[in-house]
Chain A
Amino acid sequence: MLKIFVPKDKMPRWIGRIMDGARVFAPVKEGDGYRFRLVTRPDKLDFSYQNTRLSPKELVHPPAEAMFSYSLKKGDPKAGILEEIPKALGTRVVMGIRPCDAKAFQLVDVNFVTDQYMDPWWQRRRQNTVLVGLGCHEPCSTCFCTSVGSGPFDAGALDVLMTDLPEGYLLEAVTEAGRALLADAPEGAPASDTVLTEARFLAQQAEKALPRLFMLDPLREKAMTALFQEAFWEEVQFACINCGTCTFLCPTCWCFDIQDEVHQQEGVRLRLWDSCMFPLFTLHGSGHNPRNQKLQRVRQRFMHKFKYYVDKYGNGPACVGCGRCVQYCPVNIDIRRVAAMMTASCVCPT
């Protein structure tokens, strides 16, 4: 595949050309954190972040999305009949997504696009979005992508992989869509062997800096019911306050709610992020609740990521090691430690 080198001062021109044909989303500094936002000026791109505070899942799976609209007007022949709200979902390029967050999209694809049903919004946004990823030189202390089958320069879910070198960027096409972006880049030159060697060295250094914290194999071998009954869930759940921060930030948490909202005589049916941390998530109309206790909800989150997903799809786990939940959990529940307990395979980092 095509590999080019673009000097730093010429990057804005290349990105400007992309902006002519597509909407570009990139990390933008807001307060003391970064967040993926629409960027319209190529010179405003800032690649100095480690990662965004919120994951980019909102670009494909918005926190609130109006799916259908309807009228409730008396006498309107269409009253009470839902109609899909048309959406212009043009081509988008996400610049600077980290390899872990891109991998999360791939892991969630199997939920939304199946043989039987297809989520039209997820599927269309995924198809219209080109992912230009930025390899991680300096993983955070909470990163553990190599423990969950990925890595700081994992190009597996990207269209283009960028490597930040002192003089410029190495841009490597991974897919046909990525190749198309690089083919139209007179700012660049074919990457020299020196550039490629330099980039490989950086990638290796980054990978070495990341500790392998647990083994994944034991997840497949252990029986689901045995893991479910483990005594350690009591300890894992003890401090949890069910705030839902972990599920909100997690790039692979996709659960959602469906609600109707009415303003006067017009209504919409919305899809909204939801969280397995909340008791209402599973409350029956009868009052019965299969996950009434905090322990059941905490266990559900970890079992889903590291066991149910793995067993159901023969892939995974449904964790990419981005470390957001570790960084922002208000009571310091550490998913790395829980995974180590579940796999009984190794060192606990804390």
Chain B
Amino acid sequence: MKNPYLPYPVRIQEIITETQDRNLKTFKLVFLNPEDEAGFVYMPGQFAELSVAGQGEVPIGIASSPTEKGFLMFTVNRVGRVTTYLHNMKPGDVMGVRGPLGNWYPWEEMKGKNVVIIGGGFAFTTLRSSIVWMLDPAHRKDYGDITVVYGARNPGMLLYKDELVAWEQRDDITMHLTVDATDDPTWKYNVGFVPAVTKEKAPGAENAYAIVCGPPIMIKFTLPVLTDLGFPPERIITSLEMRMKCGIGMCGRCNIGTEYVCKDGPVFSMEKLATLPNEY
């Protein structure tokens, strides 16, 4: 068995500043060793530990899709020591990736179902991975209608803007983009909070799963909307964050009751969360 603490060496290929506040940057990483890339088999919803020698590691959701070959993509919010250092790194620099870690959205279980994706702010990363994966010709037929509600504070805070526009124009996915508020006259989409927009657009619950990722306040107000629409708790899926170190269920800090968010999660159904202490 491979040493699970040892990161794969990668090189930064590209750094994209995503948001107007410049606090979110997307890193495209390529493996230094081709055999490492072959060993890095992942599914949308999983995360990895980004490792910077001399700084430490941070657990970040994988924003690329397994259907996109040749690179991994991570969108990183600048909050602490490692992420601040990362934001100052340059294309060509060498760092590390350890993973893939954790579970993923229930892709097998969702086959043949409609999928409603609800995202807020910078929690859209593994949701991007999911959308790209489902829209891939190899997978699109496995899923029914795909509906996306994605909101940010203002237009400048939306991630992956070019892709959002491209998805808007497709007829095999329904996009509902929204911002909390804006004075931008060119904004032609919705204005309002994610829960309110979800309620207004009312995606059907029949034969459907909802994947909800966003800030706690958004999740809190979106859940009752989904329940009113008829989504049962076992078909409402979310992904949680926790402080992590090992990422493999050993270091002991990311538990909610019996479950380690890093290994037993980060993806949980609301049905499962209801059986656990409310400590997250």
Which A residues contact B (CB, under 8 angstroms)? 67-68, 70, 72, 79-82, 84, 111-112, 114, 116-120, 224-225, 228, 254-260, 262, 267, 269, 271, 274, 276, 281-286, 288, 290-291, 296, 300, 303-304, 308, 311-312
Interface flag for B248 (CB, 8 Å)? yes
Answer whether A274 and B79 are a contact pair too, CB < 8 Å, given A225-B276, A259-B56.
no
Question: 1/0 contact trace for B20-41 toward A, CB 8 Å?
Answer: 0000000000001000000000
- Residues of B with C-beta under 8 A to A285: 58, 77, 79-80, 83, 243
CA distance A81 to B9 in the complex (A): 6
- In the assembly, what is the distance between CA of A286 and CA of B243, in Å? 10
Interface pair B277/A67, CB less than 8 Å apart: no
**In whole angstroms, how far apart are the Cα atoms of A286 and B241 in the complex?**
10
Chain B residues with CB below 8 A from A111, complex form? 249-250, 252
Q: How many residues of B contact A (CB 8 A)?
A: 47
Asked if B80 and A260 sit within 8 Å, CB to CB, the answer is no
Does A117 contact B250, Cβ atoms closer than 8 Å?
Answer: yes
Chain B, interface SS category: loop
Task: Decide: B242 and A282 in contact? CB cutoff 8 A.
Answer: yes
Contacts of A269 in B (CB 8 A): 5, 53
Cβ B96 vs Cβ A81 within 8 A: yes
* Contacting residues, chain B, for A70 (C-beta < 8 A): 53-54
User: Considering the chains assembled together, what is the distance between the CA atoms of A225 and B272 in angstroms?
Assistant: 12
Given contacts A117-B1, A225-B275, A290-B242, contact A308 B95 (CB under 8 A): no
Give the distance in Å from the alpha carbon of A138 to the alpha carbon of B250 in the complex. 35
Chain B minimum-CB-distance residue to A308: B258
Distance of A283 Cα from B244 Cα, bound (Å): 10
Known contacts A80-B53, A84-B6; decide if A117 and B253 are in contact (CB<8 Å).
no
* B137 contacts the other chain (CB 8 A): no
Nearest CB on A from B225, distance (A): 23
Task: Report the minimum CB–CB distance from A84 to chain B (whole Å).
Answer: 6
Within 8 A of A (CB), among B74-110: 77, 79-80, 83, 93-96
Q: Which residues of A contact B94 (CB under 8 A)?
A: 79-81
C-alpha spacing A257/B245, complex, angstroms = 6
Give CA–CA (A267, B54) in the complex, Å: 6
Is B257 close to A, CB under 8 A?
A: yes
Knowing that A228-B257, A260-B53 touch, tell me 8 more A-B residue pairs with CB under 8 angstroms. A84-B3, A111-B249, A224-B277, A255-B251, A256-B251, A267-B54, A269-B53, A290-B242
Q: Does B237 contact A (CB under 8 A)?
A: no
A119 and B276 CA atoms in complex are apart in Å by: 27
Min CB gap A295→B, angstroms: 11
CB pairs A–B below 8 angstroms (7 shown): A80-B95, A80-B96, A224-B257, A267-B54, A274-B252, A296-B279, A304-B252
